[in-house]
Structure 1
Amino acid sequence: MKSFIASVAAAVLLAGPAFADGELNIYNWGNYTPPDLIKKFEQAYNVKVTVTDYDSNDTALAKVEAGGHGFDIVVPAGIYVPIWIQKGLLLESRPDQMANFKNVDPKWSNPGFDPGRHYTAPWQWGTVGVTVNRDFYKGDINTSAILFNPPKELKGKINIVPEMNDIMALAVHYVGGETCTNDMTVLKKVRDLLVASKPNWVSMDYSGIEQLNQGDIAAGMNWNGASLRGRLMNPKLEFGFPKEGYSVFMDNIAILADAKNVENAKLFVNFIMDPENAAMISAFARYGNGILGSEKYLPEDMKAAPEINIAPEFAKAGFPAQTCSPEVMKIYTKIWTDLQK
């Protein structure tokens, strides 16, 4: 009898995750977590998942830092990950030691923002560029001039997604600077450029794709996945990769240091590194995912989408998004504050 009980106990331990239960609370960008992925995870592990949305990296960071949030998982952009780690807000959960880490594309397995992936795993990667409604403009859109020195057809019809780091990176490269530069001559040019550009913008809002679809605006700074979602609703929308330089970012899943459901959170991190599950995220949000083998599970309209499958002539202008020094961030913030006046 004892041997039978021991055998059953051993089987339960080996099956481990299948017998998980309880809760999991995810804090993620709005419209970024596929309901079918959550349902699949809940059914596989008998875990009740609650998803709460945020609208920016700064919102998420402030909420978690304030405490009392009740979240287990967050999805910060790569440039924010070092800040989260430095503040002690993330658990060193070692995604690199999880079973499905073998599926992570090598180019995303050891990023500068989280060497060795001790804290984070890939969620989605994308690029920052411009989206234009071709009903309004037929010319070259692979340039940040669409935003900073627009043709007359687009003036007063441009929306800027209000993400400071994305806009600053585009502007720095547009004036000939390097990412995270502390050259005050370059940064003065950036400030002057942005202040002079603002009158050509009709809004600074996160709902740019909706406005483009409805024809309320003609162009805007945007992300490639959002632009792909827009094009699938309105074929007149086209995404441009600025030749002056554009950033390539990675959003990452991480477990919070004060998470109450750590084991369920670890299950979920490993779960989304499975190729089929990573493809579910891409099919919903329309970004790349950094997981090898996911390609065969993607919807057909993504497999050759120009927004995601970057042409070689555009790829060379891309640069990795970087975490700037506190000194540079202070200057960026001052410029951004001036821009809001």
Structure 2
Amino acid sequence: MRKLLTATALSCGLAGMAGAEELQLYNWGNYTSPELLAKFEKETGIKVVVTDYDSNDVALAKVEAGGAGFDLVVPSANYVRFWVDKGLVVELDHAKLANIGNIAPEWMDVAWDPGRKFSIPWQWGSTGIAVNTTVYSGDINTSAVFLEVPDELKGKINVVPEMSDILSLATMYAGGEPCSEDAEVMKKVRDLLIAAKPDWISMDYGATERLSNGDWAASVNWNGSTMRARLATEGKVQYGYPKEGFPLFMDSVMLLADAKNVDAAYKFLDFIMVPENAAMISEFARYANGIAGSDAFMSEEMKSAPEVVVPPEHLAHGVFLPGCTGKALEYQTAIWTELQK
């Protein structure tokens, strides 16, 4: 999470290694450290080819359609159950993962994958509000910034088109819980979003660049992307944690059921659980990871970043989203379809 406009394949390898073993990684755009891939290839001789996607739904639909040819995928916590239930991924053989013990205890027995039977942590973070504070100096710790857009930000704020994040932010703002099946609450959510949309400049990805270059003055955005924009703008872009509630996510790597390069996949999974390597992932995309000891290899700016280390006063408002099903999903899909028109 994590997303960019890119839809092209990124490959990182040693020149002249024709016929080298390859691994196909399907991951969020602008989310994979080239330095990490170069190190992996140098140590193993395995070339990693990365294909980007920009949403959980896109990734799930592409793989479910069949014939994609990927070995590993990196879905968010609230989508893990869908991959498992659809039989698209296989249970991991922990005996092949010497570094499995490096997963931090708090990230080992998680609700979406107890005991890490199917997934290995990649990165985790939050969805909040990124604002250029030279344009708007009001409260940024509220979803009102995009749901009741202040005059200074009208026509200057973007909303990332990630259904579960946006619907959850709006539902919590309306006083409900994520995946609400309350018709009255969801009508409030629908009305809020439809009324607010004319004040948005766009519903798009690419916030890191567009906040950095001033195309957008604000965006619903992910914390790591916002940190990158803050550094690029010398502190002008700041990250807000909506007090009404905001989503937390963890993206984790899973082995696809039709993977062709299984041995290479296990080598990569074990590789990313080495603390120094996990730190490379975080230093590139600017999100925290779930590997114990990785902090020792991170820069001070990463270890103390307010976008990465959630301030105590905001932590209680963060919620790991469930995977919506049934009536809740029907409500969300109907609202999202209308919002896209």
Normalised by the length of structure 2, the TM-score is 0.91
Q: Distance in 1 between matches of 2:48 and 2:201?
A: 39
Q: Which residue of 2 aligns with 1:340?
A: 340
Q: Deviations over 1:155-206 (max 9, x none)?
A: 1211001000000110010011012111111111101111011011010000
Q: Which amino acid letter does the alignment assign opposite residue 337 of structure 2? A: T
Cα gap change, 1:27 to 1:87, in 2 (>3 Å): same
CA distance in 2, matches of 1:281, 1:156: 34
Amino acid of the structure 2 residue aligned with 1:125: W
Distance in 1, matches of 2:192 and 2:65, equals 35
Matches within 5 A, 1:236-255: 236-255=236-255
- What is the CA distance between 1:209 and its match in structure 2? 2.7
- Is 1:184 the equivalent of 2:145? no
Bigger Cα displacement from structure 2, 91-100 vs 34-43? 91-100
Partner-residue secondary structure (3-state), 2:152: coil
Identity %: 55
- Match of 2:314, SS? helix
- Which secondary structure state, in structure 2, belongs to the residue aligned with residue 239 of structure 1? strand
Are 1:109 and 1:116, in contact at CA under 8 Å, matched by a contact in 2?
yes
Structure 2 contact 120–254 (Cα < 8 Å) conserved: yes
Structure 1 segments, 4+ long, off by >4 Å, are none
Which amino acid is the alignment partner of residue 219 of structure 1? A
Question: SS in structure 2 opposite 1:252?
Answer: strand
SS at structure 1 position matched to 2:328: helix
Letter in 1 for 2:317: A
Letter in structure 1 aligned against 2:331: I
Work out the CA distance in 2 between the residues paired with 1:124 and 1:204.
Answer: 24
Which of 1 and 2 has greater Rg? 1
Structure 1: stretches of 5+ with no match in the other structure = 1-20
The aligned residue for residue 162 of structure 1 is 161
Q: Deviations over 1:30-83 (max 9, x none)?
A: 111111111111111121221111111111111111111111111111111111
The normalised TM-score by structure 1 is 0.91
1:195-206 mapped onto 2 (5 Å cutoff): 195-206=194-205
* Aligned residue in 1 for 2:6: none
Contact 1:94 1:117 in 2 (8 A): no
Give the letter for the 1:164 counterpart.
M
CA RMSD in angstroms comes to 1.3
How far did residue 150 of structure 1 move?
1.9
Give yes or no for the alignment of 1:101 onto 2:95.
no
In the alignment, what sits opposite 2:262?
262
In structure 2, distance between residues paired with 1:164 and 1:243: 20
1:227 aligned residue: 226
- Distance in structure 2 (CA, Å) of the matches to 1:96 and 1:240: 42
Distance in 1 (alpha carbons) for counterparts of 2:256 and 2:218: 37
Are 2:156 and 2:218, in contact at CA under 8 Å, matched by a contact in 1? yes
Find the aligned partners of 1:97 and 1:26 in 2 and give their Cα distance.
Answer: 19
Partners of 2:244 and 2:255 in 1: how far apart? 36
Distance in 1 (CA, whole Å) between partners of 2:95 and 2:246 is 29
SS of the residue aligned with 2:189?
helix
Summarize the alignment of residues 190-339 of structure 1 with structure 2, pairs less than 5 Å apart.
190-234=189-233, 235-339=235-339
